[in-house]
A and B are shown apart, each in its own frame.
Chain A
Amino acid sequence: MNLQAYLVVAAALVSVGLFGALTQQSIVMLMMGLELLLNGVILGAAAFWYFLAPAGTEGQVLIVIVVTAMAIEMAAGFAVTTAIYRAKRIDMTDDAAELRG
């Protein structure tokens, strides 16, 4: 087991999460895709810390930041979902296209 093995697994998680975030019509499922993507980032950060620079704490701090970002994404995402559902009864990404360029 080495850095490469960890990073390939992390890359797979990021790709699956990206696929979910791009394909899902439900806003809640879209957020699950984003969470999975960040999950891969956590694994990558842990691997970089352990295999390259275990003496420092930067890798650990990065994991703390990503975990916080996941919490913020969930809270803000559900607040936006609630607001848009209350205003327009929308729970699908395809219906929320006002900002489409």
Chain B
Amino acid sequence: MITLALFVVLAATAIVAGALVFRVDSMARATFLLLLSFLAVAGLVLMTGLQYLGVVIVLMMVIEMVVMAVFMIMYMMNPAGLMTMTMFHNTRGAVAIAATVFVALAAGALVVDWPVRGGVPAPDLTMALGESLMSGQMLTMMTLGVTLFATIVGSVVLATGRGRYDRLGDDLGAAESDDRDRGGVGR
């Protein structure tokens, strides 16, 4: 009974907060509503017994949303909801697409004859996940690691305004660096 009530509260929080993200005027409020939605989902994940992953989701999303709030301030259209404006385009088409997707997914979830539960969870789920990532799923883990590293390199390259190739030429051989302001240590 308590489990059911908890499920309903968390599920409603996740969906309502998620929907409100696109309704509120302020982008700062939108960020924290999204965080609320993530925390509710983390709660639902915790309810399935995945303590480690649930806590990872909580920690990661709190940090991610705080970082997002910084970018919000950099790029926001509507600071603190002071400037009322519409931020939507093609609302009608998107509603139709999203509703169709929901109906299709929900129908799939309800109609499909799911198999019965096979096996029991390992006694220590975190240990089981760690052993899996370090043995059978090692390739997954390595791919994730390389992808994350590529992301670091890619995002630094994209976000850099003027790199060393702009300053020193394509072969990095310029005698003097082409800087907007003279001075500095040069090369």
Contact = CB atoms under 8 A, between A and B. Distances in A.
A72 B147 contact: yes
A75 B151 CA distance: 7
B48 A47 contact: yes
Contacts of B38: 35, 39
Interface string A46-76: 1101111111110011011101101110111
Interface in B75-128: 75-77, 87-91, 93-95, 97-99, 101-102, 105-106, 108-110, 114-115, 117-122, 125, 128
Nearest to B33: A32
Nearest to B129: A60
B3 A1 contact: yes
A68 B18 CA distance: 20
Contacts of B56: 67
Contacts of B19: 16
Contacts of B75: 26-28, 81, 85, 91
B185 interface: no
A19 to B, nearest CB: 4
Interface string A13-56: 11111111011111111011101100100110011011111111
A91 B1 CA distance: 48
Nearest to A78: B71
17 contacts: A13-B14, A16-B22, A18-B98, A19-B22, A19-B95, A26-B27, A49-B50, A51-B114, A52-B118, A56-B119, A57-B131, A64-B144, A67-B53, A71-B64, A76-B158, A79-B159, A83-B159
Given A4-B109, A32-B34, A55-B118, 18 more contacts: A6-B44, A11-B101, A14-B105, A16-B15, A18-B97, A23-B22, A23-B89, A29-B87, A35-B64, A36-B18, A39-B41, A54-B118, A60-B132, A68-B148, A71-B64, A74-B64, A75-B152, A78-B71
